[in-house]
Structure 1
Amino acid sequence: MATKGMNIPAIEKALGEKWEDTCARLEAAGGASASHKELADALYPQFEGRVDNHGWWVQGAVVAYEQEIGRRVPGQRADGTFDVAVSRTIPGDRSELIVKFASLIDSTLNEVALDGEPRTSETAKRSFWRADLDGGIKVEAAAETKSEGKTLFVLTVSKLPSPEALEVWRGFGKDFLKQL
């Protein structure tokens, strides 16, 4: 059975087994009566040492299974909220693009007020801008150098209350990134 929103062929390739077999493993672990954590905890050791980045692929498989059984829809987290991410490759330095992004924000983002001060940070690989918004919404902008003079910029909005809010923020994010 195909699951909208998840790439089942990629999961099959990564785990090295047919989707039906992965589903059978999840059913044996408690299926629809088990929590997301219980399913992931049961599947995790079965692929440890057999699959590169197995934790990531196990999480993806559990999410796909939950979508298939109707527990969640694409973009929905285990807690019932929704996340959306939009990205764009942009000319420029990653740190400078985070500063430019921050300069485009006043006290609101998509007409939702900031709740506290935004935070910035950097790792060897990425530059970040993070903020909390009213209603518990979380926003993260991440910039990563992709090639000489090109940066992958990803805007992620999480803890959204509905699929409709997800789509509103997706449109906002795509338009907002064009300003960079």
Structure 2
Amino acid sequence: MSEPVLRPTAPANAKALETGSGIAWHDWVDYLEAQDAAKLDHTDMARLALARILEVGKSTSPEWWAQGVTVAYERHIGRRQVGQTCDGSFSVTVSKTLPGDMDAVLERWQARFDSVVEFNGVLLSRKPAASSTEKWRYWRCGLEDGSTLSVNMQTKPTGEKTALAVNHDKLGSADDVEHWRAFWKAELTRFAQ
């Protein structure tokens, strides 16, 4: 692994990381530096963060926050860019809250998008497919550029609205993230009308 480039600023989500993990960001940096975490891969760094969170004992979702701390530290040391996953590809998520339960929203989504052959000029490589669990509805497809789409829907506790998130994964660059973020924001705005 190449020598990381230290980024002295705290992540934008530092307060959330502190609240969720029970450990302040500056304490995370000190701890991870003392553990020589920059030499670890993502998985081992996340294990180290998880062990520390469990030791402190203030988190209600330690695994979740261990991943968040790991990603933030990887960005801090220059190993990862915003939107970059641990495999080096990029990902973007755009979400919107819509009226109706998840079944109604999935039905509307399918009526609008099941017959498309391309998104933003990129052909589909895999036909759209829907699936469901008790708490979620999913709509997925692949694109010819190697990227994948997963549209996830979950009814909010009131039962009157649904959170819909478009996850566009396996993108090639940070520029692709911004390109697709703009596209999906516009699509979701149109879909909500």
Q: Aligned partners of 1:148 and 1:36: how far apart in 2?
A: 38
The equivalent residue for 2:81 is 73
Counterpart CA distance in 2 for 1:3 and 1:137 is 30
SS state at 1:114 partner: strand
Q: Which residue of the partner structure matches residue 100 of structure 1?
A: 108
SS of 1:72's equivalent in the other structure is coil
CA contact (8 A) 2:22 2:53 kept: no
Q: CA deviation at 1:101?
A: 1.7
Displacement over 4 Å in runs of 4+: none
| 1:84 aligned residue | 92
Q: 1:28 aligns with which of 21, 24, 34?
A: 34
- Structure 2 residue corresponding to 1:120, chosen from 123, 130, 149: 130
Distance 1:93 1:15 in 2: 32
| Mean Cα deviation higher: 42-51 or 166-175 | 42-51
Q: In the TM superposition, what whole-angstrom CA distance separates every residue of 1:109-167 from its partner, at most 9, and x where no partner exists?
A: 22211112222111111111011111221101111111342111111101111111101
Note the residue ranges of structure 2 that are not aligned, 5 or more in a row: 1-7
Aligned to 1:116, the other structure's residue is in SS state strand
Correspondent of 1:138 among 126, 143, 148: 148
Task: Choose 130-139 or 100-109, whichever is displaced more.
Answer: 100-109
RMSD between aligned residues: 1.7
Paired position in structure 2 for 1:168: 179
Percent identity between matched residues is 34
Residue aligning to 1:13: 19
User: What SS class does the counterpart of residue 63 from structure 1 fall into?
Assistant: helix
Name the residue aligned to 1:42.
48
Aligned to 1:159: 170
Cα deviation for residue 74 of structure 1 reads: 1.1
Q: Does 1:149 align with 2:191?
A: no
How many aligned residue pairs are there? 179
| SS of corresponding position for 1:115 | strand
TM normalised by structure 1 equals 0.90
The answer for the alignment partner of 1:2 in structure 2 is 9
Give the Cα–Cα distance (whole angstroms) in 2 for the partners of residues 126 and 143 of structure 1.
6
Quote the offset at 1:108 in angstroms.
Answer: 1.2
**Gaps (5+ residues) in structure 1?**
none
Under a length normalisation based on structure 2, what TM-score does the superposition of the two structures give? 0.85
Q: Secondary structure at the match of 1:159?
A: strand
Distance 1:63 1:124 in 2: 30
Q: Which shows bigger deviation, 22-31 or 150-159? A: 22-31
